Amino acid sequence: MGVLLAPSLLAADHARFGEQAQAALATGEHWLHVDVMDGRFVPNLTFGAEVVRALKPLCPEAVFDVHLMVVEPERYIEPFVAAGAHAITVHQEATPHLQRTLAAIREAGCLAGVALNPATPPETLRYVLGDLDLVLVMTVNPGFGGQAFLPSAARKVGELAQLRTEAGASFKISVDGSVNVKTAAGLARDGADVLVAGSAIFNHPEGVAAGVAALREVLGP
């Protein structure tokens, strides 16, 4: 299977979420990345489960990929499942009970993901590899869109691909932060399965479809 693109609603016009989400899906992409920030784990606030609930009927074909940048992420699994999330990713750094949290996400019927801040090594996941459906490599410090790409963090993509092979695991590797026409192809070559892109899609001067097309062009067939 080719690389999946996950347009990140953080960069969409917040007054036109429905329209912008539909424009992203009209390009043929299926994933929508939903960045949830609490002002504690990260120094910014965004939105909660109601955004997923509101978008669901407008975007019935969407895979809602929820990225919880919050402390105590366990508290938010149930509301996001009830709202219609398909994948829920928590930060490795945000919970002392990672295995329990991942198991709870799977039990609720969602794909279970872990996000790694730029300074967090992939080895911290060694004992939960069997509990994981998705590892989200942050190539910026979480909290804001439009930041500069951190090549040191991107090195983890290849390391995770190797760890996955060695362990016989099957999680997807997703990358989030400054994914654009300069960085996307290299990340895919290194082993990324999902590329989360905010600014490159929603801030493209010619619109959302042009942003997706530009990324698809560099990624190739």
Ligand X SMILES: O=C(CO)[C@H](O)[C@H](O)COP(=O)(O)O
Please report, in range form, the residues annotated as the binding site for substrate.
8, 67, 143-146, 198-199
Residue 7 binds to ligand X (criterion: CB under 6 A): no
The region of 79-87, 123-131, 138-146, 185-193 touching ligand X under the rule CB under 6 A is 138-146
Total Cβ atoms within 10 A of residue 61: 7
Q: Which residues are annotated as a binding site for a divalent metal cation?
A: 33, 35, 67, 176
Considering only 3, 114, 140, 192, the residue that binds ligand X (CB under 6 A) is: 140
Considering only 11, 66, 81, 94, the residue that binds ligand X (CB under 6 A) is: 11
Using CB atoms, what's the residue nearest to ligand X? 198
Residue 145 binds to ligand X (criterion: CB under 6 A): yes
Question: In this structure, which long-range contacts are made by residues 152-161, counting pairs with CB atoms below 8 Å and at least 24 apart in sequence?
Answer: 152/118, 153/116, 153/118, 153/177, 154/183, 154/186, 154/187, 154/190, 156/116, 156/121, 156/122, 157/187, 157/190, 157/191, 157/192, 158/190, 158/191, 159/122, 160/122, 160/135, 160/191, 161/190, 161/191
Residue 6 binds to ligand X (criterion: CB under 6 A): no
Q: Catalytic amino acids?
A: 35, 176
Residues touching ligand X, count (CB under 6 A): 23
Query: What residue ranges bind ligand X (CB under 6 A)?
Result: 8, 10-11, 33, 35, 67, 69, 140, 142-147, 176-179, 196-200
